[in-house]
Structure 1
Amino acid sequence: METVGAQYLGNGRCRFSVWAPEKQHMTLHVVHPQERKLEMQQDASGYFSATVDDAAPGTRYFFNPDGEGDFPDPTSFSQPEGVHGPSEIVDNSSFPWTDASWKNLPLQEMVLYELHVGTFTPEGTFEAIVPRLRELQETGINTLEIMPVAQFPGSRNWGYDGVFPYAVQHSYGGPKGLKKLVNACHEQGLAVVLDVVYNHLGPEGNYLGKFGPYFTDKYKTPWGAAINYDGAYSDGVRSYFSGNPEYWLRHFHIDGLRLDAIHTIFDQSATSIWELLSHRIAQATKETGRPFYLIAESDLNSPRVVQPAETGGYGFDAQWLDDFHHALYVLLDQRGQQLYEDFGQIAQLIKAYTDGFVHSGEYVKFRKKTFGASSAHLSGDRFIAFTQNHDQVGNRVNGERMSVLVDFERLKLSAAALLLAPYIPMLFMGEEYGEDNPFLYFVSHSDEKLIKAVQQGRKEEFADYRWDGEPPNPQDAQTFERSKLQWQKREKGWHQLLLKWHQHLIRLRKEMPALQCFDKGSVQAEALGQQGFILSRQSTEQGQQLLCLFNLSEQEVKYEWPNPERTFKLVLNSKAAQWMQQKNEAVATPALTPTGNGIHLPPLCMMMFECG
């Protein structure tokens, strides 16, 4: 594979390389610290290169293809002047890492925490996250999942408008800032997963097309031109994107990637991009001695996503389980059925627990076709489950989090339903203490036409849902400011109580063998009344069985023990005084049924029993 970009060789020497197979000439234009222009040499594969003896880190430059103008390096590692400015040489080997003993966490042990760098702290930088790591760790969180940091226009963006997949957002702290964060995470025992986008590039500052056929009209995505993974000249494109995971692994010590919307990555090559990517990662992990995980966001409901790439699968270690969110959310907030018309039955939530995909071949009204395939045979550690994420919150018209949609008791039920599930859990930043600031959609483009297009696009996106009012202006800086966490709320009132509830659930998850078992054969679930369910978790090796009873309704539910001769020890009770805002509403001991063979479960309550 050709190495592209500005590869610093040490002693002031740098090798510049850029892929431009249809261009005849390429000029390297150094603009800082001393301006000069150099003609680059082309090889048979369409790569232009030049080695310069006096180009130290910090040197800024453009490439000029066929005299068409100065453009940033497609493989830029740093854009200190923004997406339209010159690229900057970075010495990727100079950072003083102290994580030599770090070997990554087993995927099965991860408790993920999705965060947006710009809104996680008032400062909105990588380094500002570091002082918060200990509190996250004390909560039980052991893995950060960072929303995309590839350089995007301006300083406010979700990250999915990135246009330089190898450059770290300068306003966040650039490459050095990200390395400091990863190093600090590893020192404190936290892994780092990075969100990346390989299905499109953003509209502003997207100069890749100036160099080569990176994009194609053969396929479409909802956000822009599709990436050319299988057309003419696609070898260079495939090399460019398949090398990106290795870049994050080797130079930033990242522990895994979450790939955005893989269903809009199209490739009909004999050797798929997934196989190529898997091969390069396997080689890199063999050399580094650390596992590296790939997590997919997929709208396919297909088990092939987590099957080996060599056998026709996609090669991912795990994938997001949207169906779990939809099935649970609609039962906790009935207004949610306006958004998820195909959900709302308790049987669907039960299927989410036992099978994974709720839609596994049934007709789905939203899609107007049969959809999905069964995932019942897949182990639970092949899925990332959640009750909130950036999409589910941020794609509401007013960015409402669950904390403002449902009451405190339902928030507790939501947390328990997730953290007692046989899946790898993920929390969205602030969820652990019930953050009630919104998470809105925000941008900071410089093109007026593009700004108006984004504003109009958001209005049209929400038109079909009959929302009250219009979405906040994404370009307005206040939209971004309103989305920042209020970290101090963790220490007060019901926020602190909810934080302790999450902390306790995560501790149980880590201590109880039955909650660490991902084998679908050890998971059973059935309905309890009209809006309740029974979840059974067990570990045959340790002989532990847990019975989790959930009442999502506002009426008391009667439950008869499956075997009255067995003992049932109460382990967790969401209505116990220590978890109640109003202590006088606590239910310390479950009320027995008249025969003594069961209990009456209070409204909006969950209880967990260990079976003896």
Structure 2
Amino acid sequence: MSYDDLMAMRPGVTFDARGEAQVLVWAPKAEKLQLQFGEEAKMLDMEPKDYGFWTLQTRALWPGDRYRFLLDGKGPYPDPATLYQPEGVHGPSEAFDLQEYEWSDRNWKNPSMKDYIIYELHTGTFTEEGTFAAVEAKLDHLVELGVNAIELMPVSQFAGDRNWGYDGVFPYSTQNSYGGPAMLQQLVDACHEKGIAVILDMVYNHLGPEGNTLGHFGHYFTDKYHTPWGDAINFDDAWSDAVRHYFVQNALMWFRDFHIDALRLDAVHAIKDFSPVHILQEIRQQVDALVRETGREHYLIVEMDLNDTRFVKPIEAGGYGMHAQWVDEFHHALRVSSGQERNGYYVDFDGVASLGKSFRDAYVFDGLYSDHRKRKFGIKADGIPGQQFIVFSQNHDHIGNRMLGERTSQLVSFEMQKLLAGTVFVSPFVPLLFMGEEWAEPNPFQYFVSHTEEELAEAVRKGRKSEFAAFHLEGEAPDPMAVSTFENSKLQWALIDQPPHGTMLQYYRQWIVLRKSQQLLRECDRNGLSVEVFGEKELLCIQRVWGRQHLVAFLNFSKSSQEVSLPFEHLSWHKLMASSDSAWNGPLEMPEQAEAGALTVAAESITVYANIINS
């Protein structure tokens, strides 16, 4: 079997149309590899191939069978590319036929990136049940809200039943406590039926600690580089071809076999790869080939602590070709503008001045000196369209990384919450919401794990405490291992019909209606945007133009009402949204129509007017 033939195969166990199992394992460290399966622990010898691969074709293994591998008689270990771990990370793998599900989404079309309105959720805490089936039962709420894309925090198998998901150890698997792979396929199908795209959060920068057995099989890790989680995944050292194959095929599997619409790749700045073709670029090239084959559009979104446009520039322009990235700096500037404390990595941000810069330039630090980093940081994002930047007023990280996990609803006033939401929607970028923010959920979202190894659990507790040293916080962080920490982080669905939560929900719905119906807001156009910053007043004036439509937004972050001016004497303006209106329990009703000139806007408010420019 040639090198190219091996690289075209999918790792793990797959089944052909006749029901025959094909098994591919990369285990260059083994001199003998055996498949152990069934209640009788039957053994089948794997056949060695070149480059450390082992293969097997058999009719003895069927979907639903439990199996493991013996390496030179040691083990047994789960499949590195296991699709399902019904007994958790330490148990056997279960053979699963990816082709068995009958899809009903033949007519589904993935929305364009500029039209995404993303809703991030954690499967375990989104509902009381914490399963894929329970998420499916809440889809009508999301349809009524108006979002058209959900982003699932990582669902690859992790230790225990409680985890954010970033400690997964089997990238091909689907968490057993959530319902496993069949239920994920069903959820995606149901989402598509209701017009909702599905983004899956994947971690390609490290694997979790408990149950991580890949190192027994092959050179998946390298000590050439180190990351916050230990040795880096081996993307460019000796033996790295097979490791790259493992992760490229993983991305393709989610798109091809689970009909996932986009992957959000976690912390790609921690991926260490100095190959001529970066692993992200290779993934993009392979995804493009899949798109040409299937006709279905798929996106790659990255989170990174780098203001580096190489990641989002097209491959032909020397970039890695990622379709979009999260912009943490927009969030940081927005948070400081709202009057929250400036500590840790927030010390670099100067309220509305930084927020105005992020509106204009996406990156706040684009070659400027960062006092937090003690060096210049970032490059300019000129020429990168707005749909390649995803912004938010809160997400899992910036809530859960607080010591007590407080949401924005517990940190700022009701009026300020409305202003923060409106700021995201009026931006020329792609908006993202975090589950529950649409009704001002008061429960926290805290950091939780359920490791079964006590030494590891204690290490997590200590690491959590030291993490807050940079923020000079006193007190005790909630115990990540405690069941109560997990339970306290669940959404309270009963609140959505109660004041003021119901009002906030209607407010979010109206913003999403505007985002969809107003072409100027739909078009993520950075060119037709201007920003005026009034630092002493803690006020921003945002103007956006698209075609013949002109929009003016006043963002007042101060605790006082402010006098502002609508521009252009010859124009008359109509109100699109005012967070201070009585419909949203606000203190000041803004006029439906206004002439150019002086206008008073309420404290902690966003006021938006628009008109049609006469040619």
Q: TM-score, normalised on structure 1?
A: 0.96
Matches of 1:60 and 1:551, distance apart in 2: 60
How far did 1:279 drift?
Answer: 1.8
Q: CA deviation at 1:592?
A: 9.1
Report the 3-state secondary structure (helix = DSSP H, G, I; strand = E; otherwise coil) of the residue aligned with 2:242: helix
Is 1:545 the counterpart of 2:550 in the alignment?
yes
Picking from 242, 249, 258, the partner of 1:252 is 258
| Percent pairwise identity | 44
2:484 is equivalent to residue 482 of structure 1:
no
Could you say which residue in structure 2 is the equivalent of 1:6?
13
Structure 1 residue 128 and structure 2 residue 130: aligned? no
Are 2:103 and 1:101 equivalent residues in the alignment? no
Distance 1:82 1:539 in 2: 52
Deviations 1:34-84 (A, max 9, x none): 321121110112111122222111111111112222111101111111101
Cα contact 1:82–1:154 (8 A) shared by 2: yes
Matched with 1:263 is 269
**Structure 2 equivalent of residue 26 of structure 1:** 33
Which whole-Å CA distance do the structure 2 matches of 1:388 and 1:261 have between them? 17
Number of residue pairs aligned between Structure 1 and Structure 2: 604
Q: Does residue 557 of the first structure (1) align with residue 559 of the second (2)?
A: no
Cα displacement (A) at 1:12: 4.8
Q: Flag structure 2 segments of 5+ consecutive residues without an equivalent.
A: 1-6
Distance 1:86 1:230 in 2: 31
Task: Provide the C-alpha distance between the structure 2 equivalents of 1:223 and 1:290, rounded to a whole number of angstroms.
Answer: 35
**Structure 2 residue 70 is matched with structure 1 residue 68:** no
1:208 maps to 214
For residues 298 and 279 of structure 1, what CA distance do their matches in structure 2 show?
20
Distance 1:534 1:228 in 2: 48
Partner of 1:576: 581
Structure 1: runs of 5 or more not aligned: none
Q: Which residue, out of 242, 247, 254, partners 1:241?
A: 247
Task: Choose from 576, 588, 591 the match for 1:586.
Answer: 588
Give 1:338 shift.
5.5
1:331 alignment partner, one of 329, 337, 344? 337
Aligned to 1:189: 195
Task: Return the match for 2:503 from 483, 497, 501.
Answer: 497
Distance 2:76 2:209 in 1: 18
2:512 partner SS: helix
Q: Cα distance, 1:313 vs. partner? A: 1.4
Opposite residue 176 of structure 1, the aligned amino acid is: A
Contact 2:561 2:601 in 1 (8 A): yes
* Mapped partners of 1:431, 1:587: distance in 2: 24
Query: How far apart are the structure 1 equivalents of 2:575 and 2:45?
Result: 76
Q: Aligned with 2:346: secondary structure?
A: coil
Moved more, 195-204 or 278-287: 278-287
Structure 1 position 591, deviation (Å) = 12
Is 1:280 equivalent to 2:286 in the alignment?
yes
Q: Distance in 1 between matches of 2:559 and 2:93?
A: 59
Q: Which residue of 1 aligns with 2:4?
A: none
1:358 aligned partner = 364
> Distance between the aligned counterparts of 1:336 and 1:403, measured in 2?
18
Cα displacement string for residues 504-550 of structure 1 (whole angstroms, at most 9, x for unaligned residues): 0110111111112222111111124520101111112xx00011111
Task: Tell me the distance in 2 between the aligned counterparts of 1:275 and 1:421.
Answer: 29
Q: Secondary structure at the match of 1:3?
A: coil
Residue equivalent to 2:237: 231
Q: Give the letter for the 1:579 counterpart.
A: W
Whole-Å separation in 1 of the counterparts to 2:597 and 2:440: 37
1:606 corresponds to which letter in structure 2? I
CA contact (8 A) 1:580 1:586 kept: no
Cα shift readout 1:299-341 (whole Å, capped 9, x = no counterpart): 1101111112354312100000111100111110332456500
Q: Which residue of 1 aligns with 2:57?
A: 51
Matches within 5 A, 1:165-184: 165-184=171-190
Is 1:16 aligned to residue 18 of structure 2? Answer: no
User: Residue by residue, what CA displacement relative to the aligned partner does 1:213-265 show, whole Å, maximum 9, x if unpaired?
Assistant: 00011111112321000111111001000111110011100001000000011
Once the two structures are TM-superposed, the CA of residue 498 in structure 1 deviates from its matched residue by: 0.6
Question: Quick check: 1:472 aligned with 2:478?
Answer: yes
**Secondary structure of residue in 1 paired with 2:402:** coil
- How far apart in 2 are the matches of 1:88 and 1:420? 47
> Which whole-Å CA distance do the structure 1 matches of 2:305 and 2:249 have between them?
25
SS class of match (1:114): strand
CA contact (8 A) 1:362 1:372 kept: yes
User: Relative to structure 1, is the Cα distance of residues 338 and 55 closer, same or farther in structure 2, using a 3 angstrom cutoff?
Assistant: closer
Q: Is the 8 A contact 2:569 2:597 kept in 1?
A: yes
Q: TM-score of the superposition, structure 2-length normalised?
A: 0.96
- What amino acid does structure 2 have at the position aligned with 1:531? E
Question: Match for residue 450 of structure 1?
Answer: 456
Note if contact 2:345-2:372 (Cα within 8 Å) is conserved in structure 1. no
Give 1:559's aligned amino acid: V
Equivalent in the alignment of 1:406: 412
Distance 1:500 1:66, change over 3 A: same
Partner residue of 2:385? 379
Partners of 1:590 and 1:38 lie apart in 2 by 76
- Secondary structure of the residue that 1:165 maps to in structure 2? coil
The corresponding residue for 1:81 is: 87
Farther-moved stretch of structure 1 (345-354 vs 489-498)? 345-354
* Map of 1:111 onto structure 2: 117
Rate the CA distance shift 1:592–1:274 in 2: closer, same or farther, 3 A. closer
CA distance in 1: counterparts of 2:151 and 2:579, whole angstroms: 29
Shift of residue 378, structure 1, vs aligned partner: 1.4
CA apart distance, 1:484: 0.4
